[in-house]
Amino acid sequence: MEYIQAMYSTITLSATFRLSAPLLLGLAGYCFSNKAGIMNIALESFMMISAFFALLGSYLFHSAFIGALFGVVAGTVLSFLYGVLVFHAGANGLITGVGFNLSGWGLTTMLLVAIFHTRGATNVGAVSFSPIDVPILRDIPYLGKIFNQQTILVYLGPLLMLIAWVVMYKTPFGVRIRAVGLNRRAAETAGVSVMKYSWIAMLLSGACMGLSGTFISLNSLAMFSENMTGGRGFMVLASAMVAGGNPLKAMLCGFIFAYCDALTLTWSGFDVYSQVISMLPYLAVLLVLFLTHLKNIKSFGRFEAS
């Protein structure tokens, strides 16, 4: 029974809101890449490396905002390098992605040991974002407990997603980027440069993954440890794939996965194997993928290798 109660407790819902941030922040940029037809598994490394640099920036300058700047710059630089390899040097996107992810793991762990002399850095003197006490929200009975006392990054997540939605569907930029993904040649004949828009989408996803990495290392507790992102970059990828790049649908996916993530926190106090709970977010993604592809059963046998 207590499980059920935990499922809708304010603690769980508040954690859901909080944990949605890394997904939503990243999705706000990656949705554009997805719409432009770019599959990018290197997101995980973007997130991991920018998380580390955000911590480093905050550590060096004792400011969470400079940390965030470091994170965003790191993410953008990474996406730039990835773009050069994949768009211009003819490298296979997936192999490049694997290379990036492993570089990310190697680089962050190496720097972690080299700079902080540990494989898990906490209390190194970096400043994290502190929760904001919103005046009116504080007094609303139920919602206040859920939405109040979060850091700016958490509020930024849904906000950026809404902006992304507006940009995607209400501006020329959005129309064009969607056209690029749907029919490259048609876009090209409409004077829309596929290369230019792919690049913008790529850099946007890098910058946004930088923010989401910042959340990982600087939200409320400033810390970084080996493999800290734990596949959240892949979850961003999966959410965007399920949502077909639509920011609102992607936001919904993000919340669902964040909810499962939150349950791992609230259920972990109970008498249940923590591994079962830890699997939940990943299983949720797989389940959603499975359900959204159910309709494809009809076309069985028309397999084309990618």
Contact 44, 231 (CB under 8 A): yes
- Complex with other proteins: residue 41 or 137, whichever CB lies closer: 41
Query: How many residues form the binding site for other proteins (CB under 8 A)?
Result: 72
Asked if 63 is part of the footprint of other proteins (rule: CB under 8 A), the reply reads: no
- Complex with other proteins: residue 142 or 302, whichever CB lies closer: 302
The region of 24-32, 85-93, 135-143, 144-152 touching other proteins under the rule CB under 8 A is 85-93
Asked if 130 is part of the footprint of other proteins (rule: CB under 8 A), the reply reads: no
- Complex with other proteins: residue 151 or 239, whichever CB lies closer: 239
Write out the binding residues for other proteins, residues 265-304 only, by CB under 8 A: 271, 273-276, 278-279, 282-283, 285-286, 289-290, 293-294, 296-297, 299-301, 303-304
Write out the binding residues for other proteins, residues 214-243 only, by CB under 8 A: 230-231, 234-235, 237-238, 241
Among 7, 41, 73, 252, binds other proteins (CB under 8 A): 41
The region of 5-13, 108-116, 150-158, 248-256 touching other proteins under the rule CB under 8 A is 108-116
Among 60, 175, 252, 265, binds other proteins (CB under 8 A): 175
Asked if 163 is part of the footprint of other proteins (rule: CB under 8 A), the reply reads: no
Question: Could you tell me where the DSSP H helices lie in 219-303?
Answer: 232-243, 247-266, 274-292
Asked if 141 is part of the footprint of other proteins (rule: CB under 8 A), the reply reads: no
- Complex with other proteins: residue 49 or 126, whichever CB lies closer: 49
- Complex with other proteins: residue 65 or 234, whichever CB lies closer: 234
Backbone angles phi, psi at 192, to 5 degrees: -95, 115
The region of 46-54, 70-78, 110-118, 139-147 touching other proteins under the rule CB under 8 A is 110-118
Task: Give the integer Cα–Cα distance in Å for 14 and 8.
Answer: 10
| Cβ partners under 8 Å of residue 58, min gap 6 | 64, 66, 67, 70, 126, 127, 128, 218, 222
| DSSP state, residue 113 | I
Closest CA to 233 of 27, 73, 72, 74: 27
Contact 51, 217 (CB under 8 A): yes
Task: Give the integer Cα–Cα distance in Å for 157 and 151.
Answer: 11
Backbone angles phi, psi at 127, to 5 degrees: -95, 135
> Minimal distance in Å, beta carbon 253 to other proteins?
13
| DSSP state, residue 112 | I
Task: Give the integer Cα–Cα distance in Å for 52 and 287.
Answer: 31
